[in-house]
Amino acid sequence: MSCRLLVTGANGFIGSALTEHALALGWDVTAAVRRGSDCRYLADKRLHFVHLPYESPQELSKVLRQQGRFEYVAHIAGTTKALHRKDYFRVNADYTRHLAQALSDEAVRPSCFLFLSSIAALGPAQEAERVHPDQLPRPVTTYGASKLAAEIHLEAYKESLPWIVIQPTAVFGPRDRDLFQFIRMVHYGLELYIGLRPQPASFIYVKDLVELMLTALERGPKGQKLIATDGRDYTTDDLGAAVRTALSRRTLRVRLPVSVVRLIAALNEQYGRLNNKMPALNREKLRELIDVNWHCDASRTFQQLNFYPAYDLYRGMEETIQWYRHHEWL
């Protein structure tokens, strides 16, 4: 009998990739999506669908009981951009707590509940050369703080719910729209960087991330938090080189002073508030992009899961660009 898997946020970039991969492995997958969501990447007829009322723990428990027990639950639903601090904490922290509370019921308790957090919950490297899973969390954005709050909520369910937290660094791949903005600029011959020197960075290709997540669900250590990267150190210049190489483009490379980027981010925010949508580049996001070190120590992840990513930034970017071209994004 195939494993029953519930995926929240299944219509998103990472959620749809996880859903697709699990189906390919023969898993019985239920996609939890909001009503009215764009489900263009969830067309597989084997998929089941459910709407989860995260706002009400009581209604959430009722729906989950009606669905029956899932062997595994991957909680990916959340928000990376919000206009107000309270919205980050409501969606990323409170909803996670409500779901964990509902799944603690013995009748529906899964064998493993995976929460997809973010490296932003830990914050950048401090005294050490790399972000380490045991470092004191110091998120530099409200998004990171809300993910950390969700992780803290999960600690309260350590005895009643077998959980594992995955903290990915920057994720890229087909269907991603955030990094695509940079890729599109390079496609048109312009390579813009924030600040006057390269920033330490780390990445993981979405195919590797979802493989890691399924591995963690099946045999990951419960009650642990694991960093997800491809295990390599990069800089922002490496990102540009990977995109440039995959596109076979010659570009004009420009390094913008931080003061100029802050002004652009402020204008972006004002435009976003008029449209009731926070843009990808905003003043708070800059705290994750300026004078910070995102090199990561993922050795614990690789050892405990006996897993190592198959893609580096360059190989993953080649596949990503192929997908964008095939689907006429470029």
Highest mean pLDDT among 127-131, 186-190, 271-275, 283-287: 186-190
Residue-number span of the structural domain to which 209 is assigned: 4-173+203-231+295-310
- Report whether 51 contacts 34 (CB < 8 A): yes
Q: What is the mean pLDDT of residues 197-220?
A: 96
Return the higher-pLDDT residue of 209 and 276. Answer: 209
pLDDT at 281: 77
**136 three-class SS:** coil
- Look at residue 328 and tell me if it is in a domain: no
pLDDT mean over 97-101: 97
Sequence-distant (≥ 6) Cβ neighbours of residue 86 within 8 angstroms: none
pLDDT (0 to 100) of residue 89: 97
Query: What does the alpha-carbon distance between residue 51 and residue 35 come to, in Å, rounded to a whole number?
Result: 7
Q: What are the tens digits of pLDDT across the range 114-173?
A: 999 999 999 999 877 899 999 999 999 999 999 999 999 999 998 999 999 999 999 999
**DSSP, residue by residue, 268-321:** HHHHHHHTT---SS-TTGGGGTSS----B--HHHHHHHT---S--HHHHHHHHH
Is residue 249 domain-resident?
Answer: no
260, part of any domain: no
Are 53 and 94 within 8 A, CB to CB? no
Our CA dihedral for 169, 172, 175, 180, rounded to 10 degrees, sits at 110
Model confidence band, residue 1 (pLDDT cutoffs 50, 70, 90):
low
Q: Which residue has the higher pLDDT, 140 or 272?
A: 140
How sure is the predictor about 60, in pLDDT bands with cuts at 50, 70 and 90? very high
pLDDT of residue 232: 97
Residue 215 clears pLDDT 80, i.e. is over it: yes
- The one-letter amino acid at 108: V
How is the beta sheet containing 72-75 ordered, strand by strand? 48-50, 28-32, 4-8, 72-75, 112-116, 163-168, 224-228
pTM of the predicted model, to two decimals? 0.94
- Count Cα neighbours of 47 within 13 Å in the Cβ-side half-sphere: 25
Query: What is the spatial distance between Cα 99 and Cα 52, in angstroms, rounded to a whole number?
Result: 9
Q: Are 129 and 295 in contact (CB under 8 A)?
A: yes
At 225, which CATH number?
A: 3.40.50.720
Does any domain span residue 182?
no
pLDDT tens track for 67-85: 999 999 999 999 998 888 9
71-75, 91-95, 155-159, 300-304: least confidently modelled range? 155-159
Considering only CA atoms, which of 88, 148, 87 is closest in space to residue 122? Answer: 148
pLDDT at 324 over 70: yes
In a domain, 327, yes or no: no
Under DSSP, the state recorded for 2 is P
Residue type, 290: I
Decide if pLDDT at 302 tops 60. Answer: yes
Coil, helix or strand at residue 255: strand
* 221 found inside a domain: yes
Query: Tokens at residue 80, please?
Result: 């990376």
Distance CA 7, CA 13 (A): 12
pLDDT tens digit string along 220-255? 999 999 999 999 999 999 999 999 999 999 999 999
What are the residues whose beta carbons fall under 8 Å from the beta carbon of 259, sequence distance 6 or more? none
Structural domains of the chain, count: 1
Q: What angle do CA 271, 272, 278 make, to 5 degrees?
A: 155
For the chain, how far is it from start to end, CA to CA, in angstroms?
42
Question: Residue 271: pLDDT above 90?
Answer: no
Among the listed ranges 92-101, 268-277, 296-305, which one has the minimum average pLDDT value? 268-277
Residue bearing the bigger pLDDT, 282 or 184: 184
Q: Is the pLDDT of residue 272 over 80?
A: no
Residue 306 lies in a domain: yes
Is residue 291 pLDDT above 80, yes or no? no
Is the confidence at residue 326, as pLDDT, over 80?
yes
Work out the mean pLDDT of the chain and round it to a whole number: 93
Q: H helices within 28-177, ranges in order?
A: 57-67, 85-88, 95-103, 142-155
Kindly state whether residue 167 falls inside one of the protein's structural domains: yes
Q: For residues 110 and 72, is the Cβ–Cβ distance under 8 A?
A: yes
Band of pLDDT at residue 196, cut at 50, 70 and 90:
confident
